Amino acid sequence: MEKADILIIGGSAAGITTAISARRYYPDAKILLIRKEKEVLIPCGIPYIFGTVGSPDKNLIPDSVLGKNNVELIIDKVVSINKERRTVETFNGRFFEYEKMVLATGSLPHVPPIPGVELDNVFAVWKDVEYLQKVLKALDKAKDLVIIGGGFIGLEFADECKKRGIANVTVIELLPHCLLLACDEEICVRVEKKLSERGIKVLVNRMVEAILGNKKVDYVELDNGQKIKADVLILGIGAIPNVQLALDSGLEVNEKEGIYVDEFMRTSNKNIFAAGDCTQKRCFFTGRPTFLRLASIGTMEARVVGANLFRLRHRSECPIGVFGTVIGDLAIGSAGMTEREAKEAGFEVVTGEAEAPDKHPASIPGTRNLAVKLVFERDTRVLLGGQVYGSMTAGKVANFIGALIQRRLRADEIVTFQVGTHPLLTASPISHQVENAAEVALTKM
């Protein structure tokens, strides 16, 4: 039987980050990572395989990152865990003994029970190279593509497949607007306008009743009776935690929310930790369950796990959720709560908005406007959320807003917060969007 001080199950973002962090804190430990995939995809890069990047082999996390950190890699599937003996068994009949174990089993695409979902050319977003190669081949012959789901993944697929040259791309969204879970309505409308300019059709407030075809998908039928031609259908409607192994081993698990972990990322067994999409999350603002599943959250949790395996060093903060995407030339960023979400949670809110060129002076080539909307709790003046749209600096500014939220800064503190500026890199210090949006909100309080 092979032995390891640290055994990690799962080799995507959370598993790899756990291994790297563990090596930094425990330089003499024997670290073993077991994963079932021969090659590991960059999760957030999957939509770009179908347009910008062009193929799955250009969207891989290199195994060299493990080798450089003296982490042994085993390509196999763990089929059972014996918590009492601290052992695992793999599909190929190998047994491994561990001191500490980490579950980083990730998530699976949500496949709804729609009649016809089993037809050929109906694809979910599986993180598998060979599977995605099949999607590429199907898209090469497609003229009519339908995507169910108007969140980030669905819209990124739509935009990238349009770049690929597919004539008719249609997005079907159940909610009144695309991206409504991450952005307020006025920003969603801008995104939908950009999609329309790109030649992408968006149908909102619509549910798919059935997928129709003889062996292969031909049409999608909506709840209003409308039928839409489809050579290929992509399901982009979210993910569910991959918890079967944890369930089978007797760990405490909520099948919808994920594996139970405490603030140190320990499971219900003291020798087993977990990180990433497979774990339960709690909202930063309300403490209620949240279904945020982002690589940025998973890697944060993984760094907590890597440090805590043999000595408790870090606590994991509840996630706020920081998002970003690009549709055409319109970049979007979002952090924390939207105005709508905050009101629904019971907060009395005040908002502030500001827009300015992302460089200064605006005559610098490549300058574009960037707009910011900030959401504050009225009584405490604490920042609850922010949204950014416009230039390609949106992602960086959304991360900046996310940091302010996590430090629970007030509007008056943000107004007097010192930021560095440069003509080629940022807005003018006079018109800095975050500080000006905070000041606008402050005058309303």
359 vs 78: CA distance, rounded Å: 52
Whether residue 370 contacts residue 427, with contact meaning beta carbons closer than 8 Å, is answered with yes
Whose CA is closest to 319, among 298, 303, 348, 344? 298
Domain membership of residue 245 as a residue range: 2-107+240-308
- Tell me whether residue 148 is in a domain: yes
What pLDDT score does 324 carry? 95
Whose CA is closest to 147, among 117, 130, 169, 177? 169
Q: Do 100 and 125 have their domain in common?
A: no
411 vs 213: CA distance, rounded Å: 56
Whether residue 86 contacts residue 249, with contact meaning beta carbons closer than 8 Å, is answered with no
Global pTM value: 0.94
Residues in Cβ contact with 114 at an 8 Å cutoff, skipping those fewer than 6 apart: 208, 209, 210, 211
- Tell me whether residue 361 is in a domain: yes
Q: Do 249 and 223 have their domain in common?
A: no
Q: Do 62 and 115 have their domain in common?
A: no
205 vs 399: CA distance, rounded Å: 31
Q: Do 366 and 412 have their domain in common?
A: yes
Question: At which of 207, 237, 267 does a domain end?
Answer: 237
> Percentage helix, strand, coil, to 5, in the chain?
25, 30, 45
Q: What is the identity of the amino acid at 227?
A: K
Residue with tokens 């009225």: 378
- Tell me whether residue 323 is in a domain: no
Residue ranges in the chain whose pLDDT is less than 50? none
What pLDDT score does 233 carry? 98
- Tell me whether residue 381 is in a domain: yes
3 state DSSP class of 18 = helix
150 vs 156: CA distance, rounded Å: 9
3 state DSSP class of 279 = strand
Question: At which of 237, 257, 280 does a domain end?
Answer: 237
Q: Do 95 and 8 have their domain in common?
A: yes
CATH code for the domain in which residue 162 is found: 3.50.50.60
Question: Within a 10 A sphere around the Cβ of 341, how many other Cβ atoms?
Answer: 21
Range list of β-strands (E), 1-69:
2-9, 31-35, 40-41, 60-61
Question: At which of 237, 271, 299 does a domain end?
Answer: 237
Distance of CA 160 to the CA centre of its chain: 17
Looking at the structure of the chain, the number of domains it has is 3
Q: What is the identity of the amino acid at 155?
A: L
Q: Do 157 and 233 have their domain in common?
A: yes
Q: Do 399 and 413 have their domain in common?
A: yes
Beta bridge partners of 330: 327
Q: Do 138 and 208 have their domain in common?
A: yes
What single string gives the DSSP state of each residue in 290-341? -----HHHHHHHHHHHHHHSSS----PPPP--EEEEEETTEEEEEEE--HHH
Residues in Cβ contact with 46 at an 8 Å cutoff, skipping those fewer than 6 apart: 59, 125, 127, 132, 153
Q: Do 267 and 189 have their domain in common?
A: no
Whether residue 9 contacts residue 245, with contact meaning beta carbons closer than 8 Å, is answered with yes
- Tell me whether residue 314 is in a domain: no
- Tell me whether residue 324 is in a domain: no
What pLDDT score does 102 carry? 98
Whether residue 404 contacts residue 412, with contact meaning beta carbons closer than 8 Å, is answered with no
Q: Do 287 and 262 have their domain in common?
A: yes
- Tell me whether residue 316 is in a domain: no
What pLDDT score does 1 carry? 85
Q: Do 146 and 250 have their domain in common?
A: no
Cα angle, residue 144 at apex, residues 111 and 140 outer, rounded to 5°: 90
Q: Is the dihedral of CA 423, 429, 430, 435 positive or negative?
A: positive
308 vs 251: CA distance, rounded Å: 19
Element housing 222 (H / E): strand 219-222
How many CA atoms, within 13 angstroms, populate the side-chain half-sphere of residue 362? 9
- Tell me whether residue 122 is in a domain: yes
Q: Do 274 and 360 have their domain in common?
A: no
What pLDDT score does 33 carry? 98
CATH code for the domain in which residue 337 is found: 3.30.390.30
